[in-house]
Amino acid sequence: MRRRLPALAATATALALLLTGCSGEGDGRDADGTIRLSFQSLAWQKESVDANKQLVREWNAAHPDIQVDYVQGSWDNVHDQLLTSFEGGEAPDIIHDASDDLADFAYGGYLADLRDLLPDRLTRDIPRQSWETTTFDGGVYGVPFLQEPKVLIANTKILASSGVRIPTPEKPWSWPEFRQVSEKLTTKGAYGVAWPLKEPVSVTLNLGLSAGGQLFHRGADGKVTIRSDAGDRIMPGTVRDQVNSDHSAARSALGMGGSDTLPGFFGGKYAMVPLGFSYRQQVVEQAPEGFGWTVLPAPAGSGGLAQGVSPQTLSVAEDSPHKEEAAQFIDFLLRPANMVRLAKGDWMLPTGTEALADPALHTEENGWATGTALARALRPAPAQSVRGYPEWKDKVATPALQEYYSGAIGTEELRKRLVDDGNRVLARYQR
């Protein structure tokens, strides 16, 4: 999942790249022959930044002939910043990004195919469905290493007083039951749920998998078309009904980001908020003393607990003169114990099987156990490798879904815009 740093980080990133040197400059060696690699990290939370910098220090201490320079990047501008650096021959050797941002870079020849660079240990440790998020035309252009499911963060006091059944990963709420529970949790002055849908597309697609939704379908000829089936309408239809018919979901939250809902949640205005797993850190840091909260699984449908995710990734620039050494650093960074450190620093889940089994990630405290129980149901986001998806998302899907959730348009108009207008967008990328 992408996170945000202040806008000042963009300037800091550009300056850091100039100061540290990048893959396009010379042969990437110091005057004494030391190989020098640049690692652009998008870590932003203090714990995560500290963990990344400490691992870089540990690598450098153990590898005097291969030194890594830490470069701070920003989720806010990473796509444009990387595109500029690729085209200018100044890309970092090791690149931190998200899998849903890799397709254009992979097809454009900017990223190295990692199949012959990665050790078998790392390849085996990460499940096949995670590798699918970074595989394009048979090549592997990133190592997926951190991921997070959407969960329901709920007020335990309100749950207890309502008498509703508490869901578990083994027996989650169905979408109809979730709608009923939200109504039961709604009282005068308080809503059962707040959906922060300022950016509605990924939430809609990823949670739609649980109801059998897919929306994007790849044919035998390799071309992708958009189709809206019954399963695609369950999740968005539930949210629309909660907002406009049941009045169990706060209309004001539709324009919010996840963090914007937390003050209302702490104040008892919302009983539940669907958020990314990493938001637990903000809850721990910001909740009033004595505030009781818990982590619940998102609703399930015909697809079970399936959710789409776009893992955080580590890639190597195609122009890097030291691809093998860059891959060695990635292998070090993602050893199981180190992957656990990175996951805890970001309050996310590791993709690695061995790291995910670490007891530290299975405690009941702060909902870790619920999150790890959901890991096996995580799947590649539906539009993971679809060229043209960014344009469809920004120009077609985002405004259409915002209007749909607010009640301004109905189901048929939403289908027309997502499908008909969307297929016209994709067709331009698939000629």
Write out pLDDT tens, residues 70-83: 999 999 899 999 99
Give the contacts of 331 (CB within 8 A, at least 6 positions apart). 118, 119, 121, 122
| Lookup result for tokens 């706060």 | 250
The beta strand positions in 105-149, using DSSP E, are 135-136, 139-140, 143-147
Residue 422 CB-density burial (10 A; 0-12 exposed, 13-18 middle, 19+ buried): buried
Q: Which are the contacts of 162, defined by CB distance < 8 A and separation ≥ 6?
A: 184, 185, 271
**Residue 427 has what pLDDT?**
95
Other Cβ atoms less than 10 A from the Cβ of 88: the count is 11
The CATH label, of 3.50.50.60, 3.40.190.10, 3.40.50.300, 3.40.1260.10, for the domain at 150-297+387-429 is 3.40.190.10
Helix, strand, coil tally for the chain in percent (to 5)? 50, 20, 35
pLDDT at 22 over 80: no
Q: Could you tell me if 112 and 318 are in contact, meaning their C-beta atoms sit under 8 angstroms apart? A: yes
Instruction: Convert the pLDDT of each residue in 75-108 to its tens digit.
Output: 989 999 999 999 999 999 999 999 989 988 998 9
- CA nearest to 299, candidates 195, 414, 403, 406: 195
Helix (H, G, I), strand (E, B) or coil at 96: strand
Model confidence band, residue 201 (pLDDT cutoffs 50, 70, 90): very high
CA-CA distance, 168 to 178, in Å (whole number)? 13
CATH assignment of 8-147+311-372, given 3.40.50.300, 3.90.180.10, 1.20.1090.10, 3.40.190.10? 3.40.190.10
Per-residue model confidence (pLDDT) at position 263? 98
Q: How many angstroms separate the CA atoms of 74 and 77, rounded?
A: 6
| Averaged pLDDT score across all residues of the chain | 92
pLDDT of residue 26: 58
Q: What are the residue boundaries of the structural domains of the chain, listed by start?
A: 8-147+311-372, 150-297+387-429
- Amino acid found at 399: P
Identical fold for domains 8-147+311-372 and 150-297+387-429, yes or no, is: yes
Question: What is the pLDDT confidence band of residue 6, given thresholds at 50, 70 and 90?
Answer: very low
N- to C-terminal Cα separation, the chain: 31
Binned at pLDDT 50, 70 and 90, residue 215 comes out as: very high
Which band of pLDDT confidence, cut at 50, 70 and 90, is reported for residue 9? very low
Query: Is 60 exceeded by the pLDDT of residue 221?
Result: yes
Residue 343's identity, in one-letter code, is A
Separation CA 387–CA 115 (nearest Å): 22
User: Alpha-carbon torsion 282, 300, 310, 231, what sign?
Assistant: negative
Average pLDDT estimate for 403-410: 98
